[in-house]
Amino acid sequence: MENIGSKQFADFDLGGGVFIVTGGAQGLGLAMAEGLVEAGGKVYCLDRQTEPEEEYLEAEKRVRPEFGGEIHYQQVDVRNNDHLNSVIAGIAERHQRLDGVVAAAAIQQIRAATDYTPEDVREVLDINYTGAFMTATAAARQMFRYKCRGSVCLIASMSGHIANKGLITPVYNSSKAAVIQLARNLAMEWSKVNEKGEGGIRVNSLSPGNILTPMVLKNFEEKPELRTTWESENMLGRLSTPEEYKGATLFLLSKASSFMTGANMVIDGGYTAW
């Protein structure tokens, strides 16, 4: 078996592949989508805004046609399961394939546990957990249909492993812990190819550390001391930027991670390693 491909970084080449990123209009989701486009993928960014924000429009301008990738936007709220299924099915039918999905849509609430109502809890879980679950299953149905050996990446968080110092977000943290466990269970169910030729779908979760996203910047507005605390607790002495997760996303959705499923990748600057 030869170990050198016919081109550089062949295992990371997404040329001809079709990918979906939820929460893809801005921040982390958009940065991940750009990484897939850069590797030649046709990427559909799904988010709940009717029209994408300026951050997405700027990303469109950065696309290099010579790389072979494309980026598209479609309005989808992951809480609307019928619409989510319809859009994902439509994308797969248009291309007769679906190679990967990144479930990155998420929200956060800073609130003491004793102040939560059932409605507050449901609001977070409907997007962070149920939304990720339904995104993964909608994608898997199309991968089964077109017999694609696809890859599913659920965006969790280091907050699914720890209680964040100085930040009271009990439901967000527990929702991300649930996402990590969900990835393991979906991997168990979908990774093996069955007698119909369906399956071979790898499922992993990615747990980022503190990122300078719109959601985190809003946290700093509410609690300015948080940034100093988080930076001092990080082994690198700083927070991450969304672009620093492009490589990990590409790895998880490409052939480079072909023997990886049911795993959780933590990229947190050493925050949880103390």
The residues annotated as belonging to the active site are 172, 176
Tokens of 23: 């929460």
> Which residue is it, tokens 């509410």?
222
The amino acid sitting at 67 is F
In this structure, the strands spanning 70-75 and 18-22 are: unpaired
Q: Is residue 167 helix, strand or coil?
A: coil
**Running DSSP on this structure, what letter comes out for residue 263?**
-
Return the closest-CA partner of residue 208 out of 129, 272, 146.
Answer: 272
> Which residue is it, tokens 């897939």?
36
Separation of alpha carbons 22 and 24, rounded Å: 5
- Residue 204 to residues 156, 158, 176, 235, Cα–Cα distance (Å): 10, 14, 13, 25
Separation of alpha carbons 191 and 209, rounded Å: 27
Around Cβ 238, how many Cβ atoms within 10 Å?
13
Looking from the CA of 259 toward its CB, the CA atoms found within 13 Å total 0
